[in-house]
Structure 1
């Protein structure tokens, strides 16, 4: 059963039971991604690691270059 068919079935059941229908699939994807990013940053701060720029610094160490400073422009 596909996700679309499951959503249609859940909506049908909810309407017959007098409940509110579930949200359509994918409607909360961006919010979930933001919450996951925030949780990862929180865990980094709690464990004493820098919360931002970790991937860029790690890639820079692998390549052998230093990260450039951001310009004020």
Structure 2
């Protein structure tokens, strides 16, 4: 049984019992994510730890910048005059 089927069963049961229907699945997902983030920040403040904002973004940026340097595709000295190819214009002359 998937989430939609379970929700339909819960709505049916709620109408039979005269209770309010539960919210649809996925309706409050972003609110839950924000609450978890706020709770982690609160726990960091209570435990007197400095919160580390944007750790995920920093890790992704570090991952992509190190991958670009090791593969040699970005900023190569031999390709100084190359630009990205334009859609529909064929392949670039950078080869």
**TM-score, normalisation: structure 1:** 0.69
1:5–1:50 Cα change, 3 Å: same
Q: Which structure would you say has the larger RCO, counting Cα contacts within 8 Å and 6 or more residues apart? A: 1
Structure 2: runs of 5+ lacking an equivalent: 64-95
Q: Report SS of the residue matched to 2:16.
A: helix
Q: How does 1:28-47 map onto structure 2 within 5 Å?
A: 28-47=28-47
In structure 2, the partner of 1:19 is 19
Alignment RMSD, CA only?
2.3
- Which 4+ runs in 1 deviate beyond 3 A? none
Larger of the two Rg values belongs to structure: 2
1:18–1:11 Cα change, 3 Å: same
Q: How many residues align?
A: 60
Structure 1: runs of 5+ lacking an equivalent: 64-73
**TM-score, normalisation: structure 2:** 0.54
- Cα deviations by residue, 1:16-49 (Å, 9 ceiling, x for unpaired): 1111111000111111111100100011111121
